Structure 1
Amino acid sequence: MAWWPFGGAKDDAPFLTAQWRHLVMLNYEVDADVLTPLVPAGTALDLWQGRALVSVVGFRFLDTRVLGAAIPRHRAFDEVNLRLYVRRDAPGGQTRRGVVFVRELVSRAAVALVARLAYNEPYRALRMRSVTPHGATEPPGRLAYEWRIGGAWETLAATAVGTPAQPEPGSEAAFITRHHWGYTRQRDGGTVEYEVEHPPWRTWTATGATLTMDVGRLYGRAFTPALSRAPTSALIADGSPVIVHAPRRLSAARGVVAGAGAP
């Protein structure tokens, strides 16, 4: 059964369904000491070839439904987030690779509120705008996501080049795009886990990668040195339909999924 902050328990049914499309992913190497304090209990940093990576990701939510219901004026919107990568050794010898969000920006205040209540995710609602294709599956070209903060617009952008392809196994692109779990530290120090289902994404190499922002204001000064440099890599992904499952609380003692009402 899934731990559920609204009271009671839910079966492991979808909490949210949507399409995530037109993803811009700028990737940066960061000192592991910067990330370690942000790693939720029961998980560990997931390194790629010994390097600790973070990604600034922008994308479009389309056809969004919460608990099966379409919310008027909340079916399509932008998100920009900063994520780091973790792993958890689950029972049965399974390794679950996931993401932890440092900050998530959306253009809908209600979306930010629900995400904070349901998952304790670090969402913030800001005025946003984007340049993306009109159709979910059209070639991307140049993609741009912008948000307004402190009286100025900040920007994440890149241009797709070449032909899209599935990332090679073991490549950085495969590492970045194939983390199918989310982990979030709770106010009491515990951790919740949730599954994100989606098929593998095709990716393009990206050029003209741009991140113009006050890093310290949104993400903290510890990220300023790394995110002020050029990214170590830049990708654009086509995206797909996704299913985000309800959160489950991990046992603090064993890092296993606890039942509803467990501490």
Structure 2
Amino acid sequence: MNVFLTAEWKHLINLTYEVEPSLLEEYLPKGIEIDTALNGKAHVSLVAFDFLNTRVKGISIPFHVNFPEINLRFYVRYKGHVGVVFIREFVPKHCIALVANRIYNEPYLATPMTSSLQTANDGVVSHHRFKYKGQIFDIQATGTNSLFTPEETTMEHYFKEHTWGFGTAHSGKTMCYKVEHPVWRIYPFKSFELRIEFGKLYGKKWEFLEHTQPTYKVFAEGSAVKVFGALTLTEFDKLYPQSV
């Protein structure tokens, strides 16, 4: 497989909610199952992070190297491999959204966004702000600046470590792409602030999340990543014949 993109994904805020699996069925690619192995529940995560030092096929594109992203995603399984499917991804650059939509058919939208990181004493604060349809939204998380690596059996590990992204190509076929990075350390989570209208951003059926507290909260340090070119499920099966 060829590497399509390299970057650093840094300071990832992950706020995860338990939801009914039926809410996710319309987004589910063919042949992929909703993953409920963690605790018998389906989950969606609101994730905010920074893309840094971005290169597409080794090329650094001016003004598109460092930028924030905010996405809503859920967790799926294919032949024993756990991955994610995206409901919507926000970025600040129209070119980024255009490329992602054309190549991966990912549900990207471009909108004005900013992010910042502050460290003081033993704390670290990541703040994301974006504007959509004339309204300002905010996501902020505070952690203790004492990084550690959680055990593989923990929910923190589950929500931050996924090798595969799944989606539906323009042809209607299910595709997947591999993401490689070292295991991420996390900041002990202290608090978060969220000013989001889920219904406006993701559709009316998600309005209930505005009155729901996240079940799980993770604040990951992040690292350098590699994103590989897209595969069909047939190509995936040939490369990973031992999948179970």
Shared topology, TM-score over 0.5?
yes
Runs (4+) of structure 1 exceeding 6 A deviation are none
Match of 1:22 among 11, 19, 40: 11
1: CA distance, partners of 2:127 / 2:85: 23
Amino acid at match of 1:61: F
Q: Are 1:109 and 2:109 matched, yes or no?
A: no
| Residue matched to 1:32 | 21
Q: What stretches of structure 2 of length at least 5 have no aligned partner?
A: 240-244
Count of residue correspondences: 236
Deviation at 1:255, TM superposition (A): 7.8
| Residue matched to 2:109 | 124
Amino acid at match of 2:172: G
Deviation at 1:110, TM superposition (A): 0.6
| Residue matched to 2:53 | 63
Q: Secondary structure in 2 aligned to 1:165?
A: coil
Moved more, 155-164 or 60-69: 155-164
Offset from partner CA, 1:201-227 (integer Å, 9 cap, x none): 011232332221221122112222135
| Residue matched to 2:82 | 97
Offset from partner CA, 1:90-135 (integer Å, 9 cap, x none): xxxxx2211100000001111110000110000000000112159x
| Residue matched to 2:242 | none
Q: What stretches of structure 1 of length at least 5 have no aligned partner?
A: 1-11, 90-94, 259-263
Q: Secondary structure in 1 aligned to 2:146?
A: strand
Amino acid at match of 1:182: G
Deviation at 1:165, TM superposition (A): 1.3
Identical amino acids, percent of aligned pairs: 37
Deviation at 1:36, TM superposition (A): 2.3
| Residue matched to 2:181 | 198
* TM-score, length basis structure 2: 0.91
8 A contact 1:26–1:233 mirrored in 2 = yes
Distance 1:16 1:61, change over 3 A: same
2: CA distance, partners of 1:99 / 1:67: 23
Q: Are 1:74 and 2:64 matched, yes or no?
A: yes
CA RMSD in angstroms comes to 1.9
